[in-house]
Amino acid sequence: MSQIQMLRADPMVLARRQAIVSALSRAVSQGAVITGDTGLRAFETDALTAYRAVPLAAVLPQTTAEVSRVLKFCNENSIKVVARGAGTSLSGGALPLEDCIVLGLSRMNRVLDVNFADRTATVEAGITNLGISNAVAQARFFYAPDPSSQLACTIGGNIAMNSGGAHCLKYGVTANNVLKLKMVLMDGEIVELGGDYLDGQGYDLLGFAVGSEGQFGVVTEATVRILRQAEAARPLLIGFPSAEAAGGCVAAIVADGLIPVAIEFMDKLAIQVCGDFAKAGYPRDAEAMLIVEVEGSERDIEEQIARVTEIAGRFDPTTIQISQSEEQSAAIWKGRKAAFGAVGRISDFYCMDGVIPLGKQAGVLKQVGKVGEKYGLKILNIFHAGDGNLHPLILYNANDGREKVAAEECGAELLKLCVDAGGCLTGEHGVGIEKRELMRYQYTEADLIQQMRVKAAFDPQWLLNPGKVFPLDLQDRFMAGAQ
């Protein structure tokens, strides 16, 4: 029997646990509290599956009022809380602790209001990212941010991590597409941040909340921007003889003043793995490939394609393929959107999320390869090239302890490489537990303490999503000083 199991078998611990579960059951509708190891296995980890812990209980509220009652009780009894959407976090952002409850928002998934005149939709936090677009598609509107997991990930998780996606080059990330939030603070108070239009009056507390990784409160509703669908869109596949040539082409496209809807990068291994999976006709002889998508009227598209083709020609492309049908366009994007599943068929992988300046892409990509060689690991590069958001996938054997350690050390070195190039540790996956000890590499201790003061203003007891974002020893010192 493990130490955790022995602790859970302790009569005093069992009595406290039963008292907590009883109180939580009174705060929410019947059947909304999950206990027992079998039921809780679904909540023990997120997409960073190397780490896991079975929580004390899971609660699945259906209304903001229920969330408020749960948090008020937990605050009064010093119980830690981890909010969870769909569990797609790649940084361990929804990873629970043994002594916490998981507050799952998956049942809060309704569209509350759509205002086509003002181009907004108000939704509950548990609706999927793609679900918003589907709800307004009949009127030819859509919700712009589109992370690869958009079929499963929820808007609440998107808000927590400030998610982006392939089309954020033109339309921005979550922070650029959220107008207002309803959020429950740890003491149960329900607040509204932002307004019904951009740049509302007063302090920009909305800016604090988006990207805060569940550290300040639990978002239950959001008013987001919806946009008119373009008249048409068309992607191009451009193959290059080297990753450096592809990176140079990206910088040249943006420097020319042309802003495509998306510019996505794949290296040779990604071309092969994703192309085979989607049967998308990717150029297997290329060392690197860009997917460049443009949109507008047919005339606009033809003009943009001509400009992209001319710029790409400066970098000796091995092939340029222009989509000729909706089916071909869908296949091209299927390969990119299904990248994680395609790679998962051949290997375990560890996905990083650093950001670099566009002008540094060619040099950084060369260094990424050298870091992989240093650790004896293959690295598959596939990322949002238009905004410099790298997603190196480090391939390793999860059943080999040494390879697991090597993959983590390799990932840390790649993130440091991004910071050294003038970038940062994360673009859209968040810090979670994955990058918390690396925060010192990007920020000074004074910077981190100031960030922690903001956290403490919203959550004085540090009960919300504990153990995330900030280095653990610094959290302990801060709490000791605060007390």
- CATH number of the domain that residue 95 is part of: 3.30.43.10
Q: Does 185 share its domain with 244?
A: no
Reply yes or no on whether the pLDDT at 175 is more than 80. Answer: yes
Q: Does 153 share its domain with 239?
A: no
Reply yes or no on whether the pLDDT at 151 is more than 90. Answer: no
Residues forming a β-bridge with 59: 33, 103
Judge whether 425 lies within some domain: no
How sure is the predictor about 5, in pLDDT bands with cuts at 50, 70 and 90? low
Q: What distance in Å separates the CA atoms of residue 186 and residue 170, rounded to the nearest whole number?
A: 36
- pLDDT tens string 402-453: 999 999 999 999 999 999 999 999 989 999 999 999 999 999 999 999 999 9
Q: What share of the chain is helix, strand, coil (3-state, %, to 5)?
A: 40, 20, 35
Q: Does 358 share its domain with 251?
A: no
Q: pTM of the prediction?
A: 0.92
Res 1: pLDDT: 46
Judge whether 428 lies within some domain: no
Name the strand (E) or helix (H) holding 34.
Answer: strand 33-34
Q: Does 153 share its domain with 178?
A: yes
Domain boundary among 70, 89, 104: 104
Q: What distance in Å separates the CA atoms of residue 196 and residue 386, rounded to the nearest whole number?
A: 30
Q: Using CA atoms in the order 460, 466, 470, 476, what is the torsion angle rounded to 10 degrees?
A: 70
Do residues 253 and 292 make contact, with C-beta atoms less than 8 angstroms apart?
yes
% of the chain residues with pLDDT over 90: 77
> Which candidate, 119, 431, 66, places its Cα nearest to that of 132?
119
Reply yes or no on whether the pLDDT at 3 is more than 60. Answer: no
Q: Specify the residue for token string 């990207």.
A: 211
- pLDDT tens string 10-31: 677 788 889 999 999 999 999 9
How sure is the predictor about 158, in pLDDT bands with cuts at 50, 70 and 90? very high
Domain count, the chain: 5
Q: Does 61 share its domain with 119?
A: no
Q: What distance in Å separates the CA atoms of residue 441 and residue 437, rounded to the nearest whole number?
A: 8
- CATH number of the domain that residue 183 is part of: 3.30.465.10
Res 103: pLDDT: 98
Question: Which residues span the domain enclosing 12?
Answer: 3-104
Domain boundary among 340, 369, 390: 340
Read off the pLDDT of each residue in 331-337 and give the average, rounded to a whole number: 87
Q: Does 121 share its domain with 215?
A: yes
Range with the lowest mean pLDDT among 57-61, 245-249, 334-338, 353-357? 334-338
Res 7: pLDDT: 53
Q: Does 218 share its domain with 282?
A: no
Read off the pLDDT of each residue in 30-41 and give the average, rounded to a whole number: 93
Read off the pLDDT of each residue in 237-242 and give the average, rounded to a whole number: 95
Q: What distance in Å separates the CA atoms of residue 143 and residue 120, rounded to the nearest whole number?
A: 9
Res 266: pLDDT: 93
- CATH number of the domain that residue 410 is part of: 3.30.70.2740
Q: Does 223 share its domain with 238?
A: no
Q: What distance in Å separates the CA atoms of residue 212 and residue 241, rounded to the nearest whole number?
A: 40
Domain boundary among 310, 325, 340: 340
> Which candidate, 299, 293, 272, 296, places its Cα nearest to that of 284?
272
The rounded Cα 452 to chain-centroid distance in angstroms is 22
